[in-house]
Amino acid sequence: MHLIFIGAPGSGKGTQAEKIRKNLSYEHISTGDLLRLEVSKGSELGLKIKTLIDSGSLVDDHTVLELFSNNLRLGSKNYILDGFPRTLNQCKMLDEKIFVGSKYKTIYFEIDEERVLNRIINRRVAPKSGKIYNLITDPPEVDGVCDISGEPLIHRDDDKEEVVRNRLDVYRKSIVEIVDYYDKSSKLLRIDASLSSEKVYADLVKGLN
Ligand code: AMP
């Protein structure tokens, strides 16, 4: 069974997806990571994507769907979808064009906006290892350096406060209808994402059994 993680930026989807991937052998696919990879190639498409990401807007459905389906190997693996779907249209495209009958469960990471704003502003990421740090609650052992890979930590441009506020506006516009969509098909598990990372993980594992 596949897992779809929905919730505000900074609600812990990426952190929990990495834990589940390591401990329960899922594949983790993040549309944000795929888009950033495209940006890093410096292609024309990458430049367009960068402008949208840096302003906190969504990338168009067609581009996201193409990148996403090109990187999925359905059939052999169970996936955690992180950051997709993000609009009602993407929910429908996922059911109609990608999953087409595959079993999945949706996990909704519920958390208030002030808390995620604080988390994101203090978030630092290590792109190669995939580890996500919080300067206050989960800092690296050595300032600015990933404990696992030794690479320098990055403060994403779109994790700066004004962009985050825009990302939260965008999120607010679509989350109600996405939750409604999955609530109707009884595939939704709600998790209190304001708790510690350990507690969220424990609740998640309990909810999946
Ligand atoms: P994330 O890493 O999930 O926070 O995503 C970073 C940015 O990538 C978002 O603010 C969007 O600009 C873009 N993005 C990621 N996933 C999607 C998606 N499913 N649809 C549209 N844009 C996306």
- Cα gap 209→205, rounded to integer Å: 7
Say whether pLDDT at 174 is over 90: yes
pLDDT of amino acid 101: 84
Consecutive H or E run containing 67: helix 61-70
Tokens of 71: 């990187």
Q: Is the dihedral angle over the CA atoms 107, 202, 32, 54 positive or is it negative?
A: positive
Helix (H, G, I), strand (E, B) or coil at 188: strand
Amino acid at 152: P
**CA 105 centroid distance within chain:** 15
Q: Which pTM was predicted?
A: 0.91
Q: Does the annotation mark 156 as catalytic?
A: yes
Q: What is the mean predicted confidence (pLDDT) over 89-101?
A: 93
Tell me the per-residue pLDDT of 36-94, one tens digit each, with 9 for 90 and over.
999 999 999 999 999 999 999 999 999 999 999 999 988 878 999 999 999 999 999 99
Cis peptide upstream of residue 140 (ω within 30 degrees of 0): no
Q: Ligand 1 mean position to 58 CA, how many Å?
A: 6
- Work out the pLDDT band at 186, boundaries 50, 70, 90: confident
* Nearest protein CA to atom 15 of ligand 1, as residue: 32
Q: What is the mean predicted confidence (pLDDT) over 147-172?
A: 94
Tell me the per-residue pLDDT of 189-208, one tens digit each, with 9 for 90 and over.
999 999 999 999 999 999 98
Helix (H, G, I), strand (E, B) or coil at 49: helix
Tell me the per-residue pLDDT of 9-35, one tens digit each, with 9 for 90 and over.
999 999 999 999 999 989 999 999 999
Amino acid at 34: L
Which residues have a Cβ under 8 Å from the Cβ of 33 and sit 6 or more positions away? 130
Q: Ligand 1 mean position to 66 CA, how many Å?
A: 14
